[in-house]
Amino acid sequence: MASLDTQQGIIENSKVTIGPCTYGYEYLQVFGAEGVSLTIGSFCSIAMKTTIFLGSNHRTDWITTFPFGHQMADELGGREIKGHPASNGDVVIGHDVWIGYGSTIVSGVTIGSGAVIAANAHVVKDVAPYEIVGGNPAKHIRYRFDEEIRELLLELRWWDLPISIIKELSQTLSSEPSVDLLKSLVASFRA
């Protein structure tokens, strides 16, 4: 449920931070890992059945991929074995990101602000700001806007404005961008 406040918590030993006005996080399935964090920016839209793996990677560089010490440790031994499950690092999701139904995001991935993750996408590498990706593995489909518009949107960082200003701009933010409009907004709020 969206909130005007930043949400913080711990899931399976992983620190989770969710920015203001992001919704759908209550549907997330997160597989945590010791010392790895998940950061989700403001104004993100997260569809149901989205899964984020901060850990849970099986070791493909060991003789076996079986997680001795993690599964059936009493029966099979191996409690002293460290390094399983493995992780490729933190997951960082920028601001104003739309994550489609059934998407999966693996550890070590950064998703730029304004990006769109298509339904059922499997994200295994970084996604640029305002990029649309889809598929398994997720691949570039297109950018939402041309480069000049993307740069101006990132300069504007509307999601960092005070809520009172965002409320006043809600109609403008819900329209197609133009270079002139964005330059005017940047001059008004970021000069």
Catalytic residues: 58
Q: Which of 101, 113, 90, 99 is nearest to 160 (CA)?
A: 113
For 59, the token pair is 């070791």
DSSP strands (E only) in 81-178: 91-93, 98-99, 104-105, 110-111, 116-117, 122-123, 131-134, 139-143
95: exposed, middle or buried (Cβ count in 10 Å: 0-12, 13-18, 19+): buried
